[in-house]
Amino acid sequence: MMKNIDYLSLDGRSLYMIKLIHEHRSVTEAARLLGVTQSSVSHSLDRLRSMLGDPLFLKVGRAMVPTERVETMMGDIENVLKGIESLYSQAVFEPTKSNDRFSIVCNDYEHDLLVPAIFKRLKQEAPHCSLKTYQLNMAVRNPLEKGFADLELCPYAPEDSTDLVVSKLCGDRMLTYYDPNERDAPTCLDDYCDAEHAILSWDSNESTAIDKALATMGRARKVSYLGPNFSSGAMVVRGTKMLATAPSRLADSIFRGLAWINTPLELEPSEFFMVWHIRNRHSPRHKWFRELIKTVARELPEKSEACQRALLKSKEETEEQADIDHQA
């Protein structure tokens, strides 16, 4: 009676050994390619012969000739080895060879702050990959839990979620922007409160952290425009005497060309987070993308007062040159 065979004993290395002997008709060559001794291959071959109840290879002259059983098995052995190779390749992410699509959920602040630099670096390191972004308020509910996106960029840390992992990317401070062609910078808190303001308000709550800070001082500001994002505020402020208080790291993107000052009241610094689902913690692909985003966040420039002085000096020199040209 034929004894039962434990098919799980047919490991990938044994199958690869059969493949090499079949291709080269040699135990010696198979041993060399496997990096083991000839006796080790002979011992493994004897074990397989006993397990499968077939000689597998017969010595004919100097060659090892496969039996009919081996010839019949070769197609399946090739498929199994390709499957094992595929499983292994999923544990290694090679960005230069990948054509994956990465996806991020974010709002305009996070998008304009980080996504252009993320995309630029992605194309440098993984030229065949693509990137898709979704607006947070337009995405499906619980997008990370449902696998709708790889990760989320947001200015707050989700509360009470055991399935999500949160990583702080960077901090920011608030600046007050204005159009230097239309007005001078506010010189004090009174000037700040008396000016008209454009603010960010995407829901029914129109009291921002700035308004709450002013309220503790018994003060309030004059809000004339409420927009759904920082971009709308930046567009409205241009060509007006209005002020917009927004993150400093947007000075070179959304608020490019506007002048700014440090906001004349003390505000808590903002924080910026990257959030992803715990199932992706050990994914090589996901880990690589997270590290790319962390690198981009570390390299973000902060707007300095020296840059602001240079911007205003350039404006003054342009105006002086215009006066000289006009007089000429």
What's the rounded mean pLDDT across residues 24-38?
A: 90
Q: What are phi and psi of 233, to 5 degrees?
A: -65, -40
Q: What confidence tens digit (pLDDT) does each residue in 129-147 have?
A: 999 998 866 556 677 877 7
Q: For residue 259, what is the enclosing H or E element?
A: strand 259-262
What single DSSP character describes residue 127? T
Residue 195 and residue 224: Cα distance in Å, rounded? 9
- pLDDT given at position 318: 47
Report residue 137 as tokens: 């308020």
In the sheet with 222-227, reading across from the earlier edge strand, the strands are 222-227, 196-200, 243-247, 174-178, 259-262
* Interatomic CA distance for residues 328 and 316, integer angstroms: 18
Q: Where in the chain is the domain with CATH 3.40.190.10?
A: 174-268
Place of tokens 């597998």: 56
> What would the pLDDT profile of 186-234 be if each residue is shown by its tens digit?
999 999 999 999 988 766 667 888 889 999 999 999 999 998 888 888 9
Per the DSSP assignment, residues forming a β-bridge with 106 are 135
Per-residue model confidence (pLDDT) at position 140: 61
Is the pLDDT confidence value at 276 over 70?
yes
Identity (one letter) of the amino acid at 316? Answer: E
Q: What confidence score (pLDDT) does residue 307 get?
A: 46
Q: Are 163 and 278 in contact (CB under 8 A)?
A: yes
CA 36: distance to chain centroid?
A: 43
Amino acid 270: pLDDT: 79
Q: Report which of 18, 14, 28 is spatially closest to residue 62, judged by C-alpha positions.
A: 28
CATH 1.10.10.10 location in the chain: 7-89
Neighbouring CB atoms inside 10 A of 75's CB total 9
Q: Does domain 7-89 have CATH number 3.40.50.2300?
A: no
Helices (H) and strands (E) in the chain, counts: 10, 12
pLDDT at 6: 66
> Around Cβ 129, how many Cβ atoms within 10 Å?
18
pLDDT at 303: 53
Which pLDDT value is given to residue 251?
87
Give the strand pairing for 243-247 and 174-178: antiparallel
- Count how many Cα atoms sit within 13 Å of the Cα of residue 321 in the half-sphere of its side chain: 6
pLDDT band at residue 118 under the 50/70/90 scheme: very high
Q: Where do we find the tokens 């052995």?
A: 77
The answer to whether residues 169 and 294 touch, using CB atoms and an 8 Å cutoff, is yes
Amino acid at 175: L
Q: Which are the contacts of 140, defined by CB distance < 8 A and separation ≥ 6?
A: 146, 148
Residue from 262, 258, 256, 305 nearest 173 by CA: 262
* Cross-strand bridge partners of residue 166: 275
The total of other beta-carbon atoms located within 10 Å of residue 173's CB is: 15
- Asked whether the whole model's pTM tops 0.75, one would answer no
CATH topology for the 174-268 domain: D-Maltodextrin-Binding Protein; domain 2 (3.40.190)
Task: In whole angstroms, give the CA distance from residue 2 to residue 117.
Answer: 65
pLDDT score recorded for residue 91: 66
128 in Cβ contact with 99 (< 8 Å): yes
What's residue 314's pLDDT? 45
Structure confidence at residue 203 (pLDDT): 63
What's the burial of 125, exposed, middle or buried (CB within 10 Å: 0-12/13-18/19+)? middle
Write the pLDDT tens digit of every residue in 47-81.
999 888 899 999 999 899 999 999 999 999 988 88
With tokens 């920011």, the residue in question is 172
Residue 317 pLDDT > 70: no
Strand bridging mode 164-172 / 259-262: unpaired
